């Protein structure tokens, strides 16, 4: 039989890889690409590539409990989780340089598929003064400890436009 | 939200009593190429229908009672089958009944029971099927870990290693270093949980992870994400579990021994990053305990010492327990309950859950293990433990076939309260059915005289939690 007799809709049964005969187990390969938008969080991810760390805050004075500037969200949120008004952006690069500390940390030795961080990776959660949240990120070039003062470093030369453009180093 | 009103936290209501009358599982395996997912689901349903002493002539008579169906299946990408609930519903031959698929991560099974119970409680249906499954063996572990990691925030978390265990371990590390003081004693408590749950799995013919381990075995096992080692972590499983829920009239028509079910749910942010400090919602017994309140002030300050729930507690579990306890009148779970099945995804998160649901105050979770309370037979005294936990082996010893897990737990608690543990675990025939030999060191794990039990089903790094409470009808607390 010619190859064409099987070859409809780009499906080529002759390419099926059989793993086992009884029970019959076959391979079903795929490699899709997703087209993903950052939408209203664009400023944050562009900011990393520009060497800036952006948080958001709610400036709705009627908002309880977070209607004050000190209460910054990082990761940024587009809408306030309390009053659902649009949040304001704030550049927190400098305060992060001065006050960031490690809240908790672990070492990743066995990542999952599609991982792009260098292994072993020091995963850290970062406290910053005036920030109500504790950002997950990565530490470069040091053994982490709870309470360790750190400062942000940015991948501005060859940005990936992902959260991997941000890392931290001891301060 | 970090501020709650009384309306937000009002005890949930069932407009009429809900009962569970029958349960069934497939066996659970890491890889199960011998059977398709639908075979496992049909096997769980057949056990439910034919082996629970129901007063029916057979499967078709039982199907004549069922009015709607709720299916728990979390990971479409793992199973590679969208709308799997339609496929399973068809294979069970339950068309044209209404059915719906439910997915809330690791709590999918619990949430499925929650929705099924609400369908009965509301009066919509008199008899409801809750059935869940997961198929995690179509990809290798490396791809599997990536798939699981996509249940984290894909922009802010998943990119960081594509490994969910890591996101969990950040909490574990904080708890270990602050409440656990990084001590060998605390490490030993974690190991004892793994030894206990793997050990109980040895008497469970459905279980995938049976093993007689020592504390040293656990502490020598490879590090997955420090401080979590291989034996600190739950299993990845293939399998199915089913539960039948009824109103009172149908329950007594079908069964001579139906069990009451109360169930409630809580939630918290998907990203651990976003967990802002808040006041501790107190459980009934804590509200009256000035010592505990003073202890919490010492432990957390006003969030300056340690934020609450921060990385050390699970607000979703605390809220689910708050709802459930107030719903059915539980005051002190250590006194009012006879056994529990907890979501031991990791040994540390198991300890954290002891505190969230009030088995011990926050910061004191390890004492539940060290006191011997968590064992069927207290290893310190040789007497029955006060509140045995995870006699199935739990997620560490029995299985974590995600969509089935929370359903399996409720079914197992029901069997315990019906005094039918032996019927579903002891027969040689059952072990042979799953291609196993009944072990020589098989133990009877029936909790003698058990009247009330609890099951916790838990998702993400604490994004969803359900709390089920089962009671024998003569042992209700709130009349
Ligand atoms: Zn607001």
| Closest chain B CA to residue A37 | B155
Q: Does A163 touch chain B (CB under 8 A)?
A: yes
- Interchain proximity B170–A104, CB inside 8 Å: yes
Give the phi and the psi of residue B287 in degrees, each rounded to 5.
-60, -30
Q: What average pLDDT does the segment B1-8 reach?
A: 88
- Which chain A residues are Cβ-neighbours of B138 within 8 angstroms? 28
Gap between the Cα atoms of A115 and A66, Å rounded: 35
ipTM reported for the complex, 2 dp: 0.89
Q: Greater confidence, B250 or B3?
A: B250
- Interchain proximity B156–A110, CB inside 8 Å: no
SS3 category, B322: helix
Question: What's the pLDDT score for residue A7?
Answer: 47
Cα distances from B124 to residues A69, B15, B85, in angstroms, run: 48, 11, 20
SS3 category, B271: coil
| Closest chain B CA to residue A145 | B177
- The domain A39-170 is classified under which CATH number: 3.40.30.10, 3.40.50.300, 3.30.1150.10, 2.40.50.140? 2.40.50.140
Q: How far is A3 from chain B (nearest CA, A)?
A: 28
User: Tokens 């900011």, residue?
Assistant: A47
CA nearest to B245, candidates B328, B101, B129, B96: B129
Domain ranges of chain A: 39-170
User: pLDDT over 90 for what percent of chain A?
Assistant: 73
Gap between the Cα atoms of B164 and B146, Å rounded: 8
| Closest chain B CA to residue A163 | B156
pLDDT, tens digit, 9 for 90 and up, residues B142-155: 899 999 999 999 99
Ligand 1 centre and the CA of B273: distance in Å?
18
pLDDT, tens digit, 9 for 90 and up, residues B236-265: 999 999 999 999 999 999 999 999 999 999
Gap between the Cα atoms of A48 and B246, Å rounded: 55
Question: What's the pLDDT score for residue A11?
Answer: 57
pLDDT, tens digit, 9 for 90 and up, residues B343-390: 999 999 999 999 999 999 999 999 999 999 999 999 999 999 999 999
* Element spanning B315, H or E: helix B315-328
Gap between the Cα atoms of B389 and B338, Å rounded: 9
Burial B179-215 (b: 16+ CB within 10 A, else e): bbeeeeebbebbbbbbbbbbbbbbbbbbbbbbbebeb
Mean pLDDT computed over every residue of chain B = 96
Q: Find the DSSP H helices in B65-214.
A: 76-79, 84-91, 108-121, 141-149, 164-178, 184-201
pLDDT band at A68; cut points 50, 70, 90:
low
Question: What's the pLDDT score for residue A6?
Answer: 45
* Element spanning B224, H or E: strand B223-225
Q: Does A109 touch chain B (CB under 8 A)?
A: yes
The closest CB to that of A112, out of B145, B177, B310, belongs to B145
Q: Are B95 and B213 in contact (CB under 8 A)?
A: no
Question: What's the pLDDT score for residue A135?
Answer: 97
The closest CB to that of B166, out of A38, A106, A113, belongs to A106
Ligand 1 centre and the CA of B291: distance in Å?
36
pLDDT, tens digit, 9 for 90 and up, residues B54-109: 999 999 999 999 999 999 999 999 989 999 999 999 999 999 999 999 999 999 99
Q: Are B73 and B84 in contact (CB under 8 A)?
A: yes
The closest CB to that of B173, out of A23, A105, A112, belongs to A105
Q: Does A113 touch chain B (CB under 8 A)?
A: yes
Question: What's the pLDDT score for residue A69?
Answer: 58
pLDDT band at B200; cut points 50, 70, 90:
very high
Give the phi and the psi of residue B7 in degrees, each rounded to 5.
-65, -40
- Which chain B residues are Cβ-neighbours of A103 within 8 angstroms? 174, 311
CB pairs under 8 A between A and B: 138
Q: Is the pLDDT of residue B53 over 60?
A: yes
């Amino acid at each position: 039989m010619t190859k064409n007799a099987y070859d409809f809709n780009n499906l080529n049964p002759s390419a099926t890889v059989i793993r086992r005969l009884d029970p019959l187990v076959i391979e079903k390969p795929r490699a899709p690409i997703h087209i993903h938008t950052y939408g209203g969080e664009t400023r944050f991810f562009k900011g990393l590539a520009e060497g800036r760390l952006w948080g958001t805050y709610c400036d709705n004075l009627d908002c309880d409990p977070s209607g004050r500037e000190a209460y910054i969200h990082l990761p940024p949120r587009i809408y306030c989780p309390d009053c659902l008004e649009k949040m304001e952006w704030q550049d927190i690069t400098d305060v992060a340089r001065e006050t960031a500390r490690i809240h908790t940390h672990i070492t990743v030795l066995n990542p999952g598929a599609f991982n792009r961080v260098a292994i072993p990776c020091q995963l850290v959660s970062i406290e910053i003064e005036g920030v109500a949240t504790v950002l997950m990120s990565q530490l470069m070039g040091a053994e982490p400890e709870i309470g360790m003062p750190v400062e942000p470093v940015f991948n501005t030369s060859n940005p990936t436009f992902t959260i991997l453009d941000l890392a931290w180093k001891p301060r | 939200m970090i501020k709650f009103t009384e309306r937000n936290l009002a005890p949930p209501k069932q407009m009429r009593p809900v009962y569970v009358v029958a349960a069934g599982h497939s066996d659970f395996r890491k890889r199960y190429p011998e059977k398709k997912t639908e075979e496992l689901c049909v096997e769980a349903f057949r056990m439910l229908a034919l082996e629970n002493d129901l007063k029916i002539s057979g499967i078709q008579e039982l199907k004549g009672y069922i009015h709607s169906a709720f299916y728990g299946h979390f990971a479409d990408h793992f199973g590679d089958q969208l709308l799997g609930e339609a496929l399973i519903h068809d294979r069970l031959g339950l068309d044209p009944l209404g059915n719906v698929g439910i997915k809330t991560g690791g709590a999918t099974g619990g949430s499925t029971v929650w929705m099924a119970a609400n369908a009965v409680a509301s009066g919509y249906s008199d008899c409801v099927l809750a059935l869940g499954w997961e198929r995690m063996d179509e990809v290798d572990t490396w791809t599997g870990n990536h798939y699981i990691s996509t249940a984290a925030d894909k922009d802010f978390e998943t990119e960081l290693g594509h490994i969910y265990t890591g996101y969990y371990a950040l909490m574990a590390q904080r708890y270990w270093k602050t409440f656990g003081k990084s001590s060998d004693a605390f490490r030993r408590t974690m190991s004892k949980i793994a030894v206990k749950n793997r050990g109980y799995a040895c008497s469970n013919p459905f279980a995938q992870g049976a093993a007689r381990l020592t504390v040293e075995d656990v502490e020598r096992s490879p590090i997955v994400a420090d401080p979590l080692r291989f034996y600190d972590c739950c299993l990845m499983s293939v399998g199915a579990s089913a539960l039948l829920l009824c109103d009172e009239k149908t329950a007594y028509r079908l069964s001579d021994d139906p069990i009451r079910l109360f169930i409630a749910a809580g939630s918290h942010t998907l990203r651990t990053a976003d967990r802002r400090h808040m006041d501790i919602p107190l459980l009934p017994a804590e509200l009256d305990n000035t010592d505990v309140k003073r202890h919490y002030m010492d432990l957390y300050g006003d969030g300056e010492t340690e934020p609450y729930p921060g990385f050390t507690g699970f607000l979703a579990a605390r809220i689910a327990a708050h709802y459930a306890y107030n719903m059915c009148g539980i005051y002190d779970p250590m006194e009012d309950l006879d056994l529990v099945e907890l979501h031991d995804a990791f040994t540390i998160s198991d300890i954290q859950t002891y505190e969230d649901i009030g088995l011990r105050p926050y910061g004191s979770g390890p004492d539940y293990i060290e006191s011997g309370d968590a064992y069927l037979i207290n290893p310190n005294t040789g007497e029955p433990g006060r509140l045995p936990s995870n006699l199935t082996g739990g997620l560490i010893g029995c299985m974590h076939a995600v969509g089935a897990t929370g359903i399996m737990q409720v079914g197992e608690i029901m069997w315990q309260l019906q005094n039918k543990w032996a019927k579903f675990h002891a027969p040689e025939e059952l072990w042979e059915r799953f291609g196993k030999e009944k072990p020589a060191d098989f133990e009877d794990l029936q909790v003698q005289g058990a009247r009330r039990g609890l099951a916790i089903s838990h998702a993400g790094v604490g994004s969803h939690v359900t709390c089920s409470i089962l009671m024998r009808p003569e042992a209700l607390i709130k009349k």
